[in-house]
Amino acid sequence: MSKSKHVASERAAWIKRRAKELGFTSVGISAARALDEEAPRLETWLKEGMHGDMTYMEDNFDKRLDPRKLLPGTKSVVSLLFNYHNPQGQADPEAPKIAQYAYGEDYHFVLKWKLKELLKWMRAEWGNVEGRVYVDSAPILERAWAERSGLGWIGKHSLLLNKHAGSYFFLAEMMLDLDLEPDAPVTDHCGTCTRCIDACPTDAIIQPYVVDGSKCISYFTIELRGAIPEPVKGKMENWMFGCDICQEVCPWNRHASPTTEPRFSPHPRLLDMTKADWDDLTEDVFRDVFKNSAVKRTGWLGLQRNMSFLSED
C-alpha cells in the first residue's frame, strides 16, 4: 500500500471511530464526484411536479449533483447516520399522531453541534482541514451519498434502509478537502416486498423507488403552506405532523433499537397528551412542549390547521 493510501485509510478509520464516540450509528465515505446517474431521475421528478410547492428543490440543480460545485475543493463526502427511534409511542390511540423524528429536540441543532465538534477534532489532529458540515442545510442528495458510501440502500419508499438499523435515523454529511478511503455500496435487500407501497394511504409511492412528494402526508402536514386538498380527506390516518406508516410496516425496522441520545427523548408531556389535550391545545402549551422541537417548523397555527382537517374526516 502506498503512503498516500495508508494515510487515507488511517484517517477514514479515525473519523469513523471519533464519530461513533459522538453517538453516530454508522459512518460511510465516498469520493466527491458528480452523481451523473441521479441527474435524469431528479430532472424527471421535478418536471412532473412531484416536489409540489417545495420550489426550493428546483434551485441549485448542479450543486445537488456535484459537491465540488457546492464547496470547491471537496475531495470526500462523509455520510453519517444517527438513530432517533422512540418505540414507546403516544399513549392515547385516539390522539393525533406525530412522526417519531420530532418527539425530541430539533435534530438540526443537535447533530450540527456534534459535526462541528468532529471537525474541530480533525483540525486538532491534522491541522488545517477545510470542510463544512450539513444537516438538511444545503442542496445535497443525502440518501444518494449515504447509499454510495455503503450505509444502506434506498428502499422502495425512497428512504435509506440499513440491514442492522432499519430506517429510523437522521442523515448528515461532511464535505472535506481530505483524501479518504471510500467505502463500497451494498446491495438492495427489498426483494419482492411491497408493504410500504401497499400501506401508503395517499398512494404517494407511485411505483417502487419513486415517491410523489406532493401526495405524501408529511408534505401536507409540514411543507404545504396552503389548505390541505379536499381529496386527501379521510386518508390521513390521524397524522398531524409527518408520517411513519411506510417505516412502521417495513420488515427491516424489526432490527431498529431505541435511541440512546437523551436530547431525542420526548418532552415529558408529549406522549401522555390525550385527544382532548390536543383539541384544547393553547399556543402557550405548544411553545412549552415544542420549545426545541422540529414541530416548531409548522407552528401553532399550522398544527391547528392539520388537526382541524383531521377532525373533519
Active site residue 53: no
User: Residue 22's closest CA among 101, 107, 118, 112?
Assistant: 118
Burial class of residue 5 in the structure, from the number of CB atoms within 10 Å of its CB (0-12 exposed, 13-18 middle, 19+ buried): exposed
Name the active-site residue from 53, 92, 136, 177: 136
Q: Supply the residues annotated as catalytic.
A: 136
